[in-house]
Amino acid sequence: MIVGCDIDGVIVDPGEFFHLIPDWKEYYRHTVAMKPIPEMITLVKALIQAGHRVTLITSRPSSDRDKTVEWLEMYFRNCPPFDLLMRPEGDARTGAEIKMSVLRELRPDMMIEDEPKTVKMMMAEGFTVLQVHGYRLSDEDSVPQG
């Protein structure tokens, strides 16, 4: 199957640099130093090893690509390279909007995502979503919705 997978809050633990948000530029400056979410790294590796195609879908800007790839190489050593779909430079849409347009084209069998509002949008369009809890971006988001 084709699996779409978000990065921040799904395989990357934003915790240590969480306080920098919404200064995303400053947050992304620390990309290489960000900690992984070990359980999710294990899960994604298992999906890849089982022959599923994992495509990373992130609202990180494409200017962060090199650092993101460097991070992926640290934690997914010996895994085949990922398709990595990022926010095009200068694209001011919200992360949710960017992800939705990618999903409509890619039509993944499953999406792994953490942000509740984004999960809700994906589900509303009929996508199967595996939601990761515990790495919320705000207190509001920590309240389960629906």
Compute the least distance from the CB of residue 146 to Mg ion, in Å: 18
Q: Does 8 bind Mg ion (CB under 5 A)?
A: yes
Residue 130, CA distances (Å) to 46, 86, 111 in order: 15, 20, 6
Q: Do 8 and 141 contact (CB within 8 A), yes or no?
A: no
Pick from 62, 64, 65, 112: which is nearest to 89 by CA? Answer: 62
DSSP code for 141:
G
Q: How far is the CB of 137 from Mg ion (least distance, A)?
A: 8
108 near Mg ion, judged by CB under 5 A: no
Tokens 């953490």, residue located: 114
Q: Which DSSP state fits 25?
A: H
Residue 76 vs 113, nearer CB to Mg ion = 113
For the CB of residue 10, give the shortest distance to Mg ion in the complex, in Å: 6
**Smallest gap from residue 43 Cβ to Mg ion (A):** 15
Q: Which is nearer to Mg ion, 64 or 115 (CB)?
A: 115
Question: Which positions touch Mg ion (CB under 5 A)?
Answer: 6, 8-9, 114-115
